Structure 1
């Protein structure tokens, strides 16, 4: 397996840490991302090439993270792992006037993808909850609806998968995929989930670094390396394009043309 340089967001604990650790153990150079200096100081393992620090719930933080990441790049792969979960008890608004859940889960992967030098591979994080999501795009920020953390989360995961499919369609030279890690016992997932935490990160590791031909294919949504069903809207090109337009409007950042 050829050596690769890989950036993993949200990688100081849970699934993200396991992704970063396994990639480093396999001999790759891994740049980790921490939300705060305190989290960064608690993270260290052999093979860690560097740490990027920044709160990606704000546009300023997203730009800071992208700038720091580019200082380590270019990357062979970027894994968008950072997310907020479905247990958020209320809508939190960021300094940019956005839903914090949407900003972290959807806008941050979009902005980082736009601003980080384009890698050979991109991996987005979906969820088994996404098939239940509404595909409406008229209230992305949940300003006009009664808050439901589970419903808002499911919508962001549908949007993440749609972003992956849109980029795979637009960028033929980049392998872009989305992964369901399963419902696993993490800080976000709680203590009762049925899936295996020790398997939740393996598909992301494989997509980021494997030289197998199957790992370099694009435009898939996978669960344990196998195709998983998706919400119909995820592959709707009109939905994808409208979502990208909404992300561009919210961030002021445009996708680069490749």
Structure 2
């Protein structure tokens, strides 16, 4: 059985993924941004889940999460599920936090980054990106960046399985009540990539939708864009990848 961190697991797809992994017998670390949100995770903690608390908007809090987890039993996988679709937290939560956790956590064997089909509308340009979130950032851009981060990790860390997952437009708080995709399929792929020994799940560098590999935005596998993105993130956070 694996030990798996699921960020943003107080509700939505993260909560469903954590619940399913816990039911399958895996060790799960759930995450909430504050104590109030953490209280909602009580039922999962009562079933054996560990918990970590910290606001992914705040870089010092992300560093604290990483330090806390590095002092515990090592992780086998991380599902970077937490995300926001509008407001000043878009860039901090959707790309800065996943990057920092990737850079700071003792390398797990599997990395799963939850992205979106909206990444196809993202612009592969790093000019004038407000990483601090002082201006409302583009959700599509943030998802293009995190999808490229997943592909870059698949290239640069050959001992790690790194993939991006589009869960589809599902009826969660973020997706809204009129979302038309299958909620069950919306969280199944990230669980499978984080824990399964199926041959397809043991591949890396993919962009997945409902357990099928798909072709992402062309910039995702552009190594020059990947390298520029990683350089910008390292300079912005003061934390390069090892």
TM-score interval for Structure 1 and Structure 2 normalised by the shorter chain: over 0.9
1:230 aligns with 2:216: yes
For residue 47 of structure 1, report the CA deviation from its aligned partner.
4.3
For residue 191 of structure 1, report the CA deviation from its aligned partner.
1.4
For residue 250 of structure 1, report the CA deviation from its aligned partner.
1.2
In the alignment, the residues of structure 2 paired with residue 41 and residue 131 of structure 1 have an alpha-carbon distance, to the nearest angstrom, of 36
For residue 19 of structure 1, report the CA deviation from its aligned partner.
0.6
**Residue by residue, what CA displacement relative to the aligned partner does 1:156-202 show, whole Å, maximum 9, x if unpaired?**
11111100111100010100000000011111111111101122000
Task: Give 1:106's aligned residue.
Answer: 95
Deviation beyond 6 Å, 4+ runs, structure 1: none
**Residue by residue, what CA displacement relative to the aligned partner does 1:32-75 show, whole Å, maximum 9, x if unpaired?**
01001111112122543310000011111110111122233311
8 Å CA contact 1:73–1:117 kept in 2: the answer is no
Task: Give 2:74's aligned residue.
Answer: 74
1:161 aligns with 2:161: no
8 Å CA contact 1:56–1:65 kept in 2: the answer is no
Indicate which of 97, 106, 114 corresponds to 1:125.
Answer: 114
8 Å CA contact 1:29–1:47 kept in 2: the answer is no
8 Å CA contact 1:69–1:116 kept in 2: the answer is yes
In the alignment, the residues of structure 2 paired with residue 75 and residue 108 of structure 1 have an alpha-carbon distance, to the nearest angstrom, of 17
Structure 1 spans left out of the alignment, 5+ residues: 93-99
What value does the CA root-mean-square deviation take over the aligned residues? 1.5
Question: Helix, strand or coil for the counterpart of 2:147?
Answer: helix
1:19 aligns with 2:17: yes
Name which of structure 1's ranges 15-24 and 36-45 shifts more when overlaid on structure 2.
36-45
In the alignment, the residues of structure 1 paired with residue 237 and residue 131 of structure 2 have an alpha-carbon distance, to the nearest angstrom, of 17
For residue 142 of structure 1, report the CA deviation from its aligned partner.
7.9
